Amino acid sequence: MKYLHTMVRVHDLEASLRFYCEGLGLHEVRRKEVPEGRFTLLFLAAKESPEAELELTYNWDPETYSGGRNFGHLAFEVDDIYATCDHLQGMGITINRPPRDGRMAFVRSPDDISIELLQRGDAQPAKEPWLSMANQGSW
């Protein structure tokens, strides 16, 4: 497994970039505008550890974040999304967002931290029981 990023939601993209880039010295790695979802993703990293990214998510429509909702999730890349989810489920861990697409799943830590699991490389072919499994709770 490879650590990918931590995601935080931000209210003011320019103020956040000023803080993280000018203040802390991170640099922008890539940016993705998603008009259909009305959000922007910015990935930042430190020069000394470019593989450990910080994802800033800016939702275009105003939203009040409470209860820690501005903290999004930790993300890990896994060799086999299905085997990883099988293993976690066997440990009694709820798969909140099953890997129906063969690429992405979400689980929660015992402290309710959202964890995103992403398939390394291309998505695996969709298969049961994951394909028919419904979401459980929130992630």
80, 112: one domain: yes
The arithmetic mean of pLDDT across residues 26-43, rounded, is: 97
Torsion angles phi and psi, residue 84, rounded to 5: -65, -45
Judge contact between 28 and 42, C-beta under 8 A: yes
Q: So which residues are the catalytic ones? A: 116
State the Cα–Cα distance between residues 75 and 55, nearest whole angstrom: 10
Report pLDDT digits (tens) over 12-33. Answer: 899 999 989 998 889 999 999 9
Full domain range(s) for residue 48: 5-59
pLDDT at 100 (0 to 100): 97
What tokens were used for 9?
Answer: 């939601």
51, 99: one domain: no
| Domain presence at residue 67 | no
Pairing of strands 71-78, 114-119: parallel
| Domain presence at residue 66 | no
H or E element at residue 17: helix 13-17
Using the predicted structure, report yes or no on whether residue 46 has a pLDDT greater than 70: yes
| Domain presence at residue 46 | yes
Using the predicted structure, report yes or no on whether residue 68 has a pLDDT greater than 80: no
Check: pTM over 0.75? Answer yes or no: no
pLDDT at 1 (0 to 100): 87
86, 37: one domain: no
Tally of structural domains, the chain: 2
Judge contact between 136 and 95, C-beta under 8 A: yes
Please report which confidence band the pLDDT of residue 89 belongs to, taking 50, 70 and 90 as the band edges: very high
Report pLDDT digits (tens) over 112-136. Answer: 878 899 999 999 999 999 999 999 9
Q: Count CB neighbours of 121 within 10 A.
A: 9
| Domain presence at residue 69 | no
Please report which confidence band the pLDDT of residue 111 belongs to, taking 50, 70 and 90 as the band edges: low
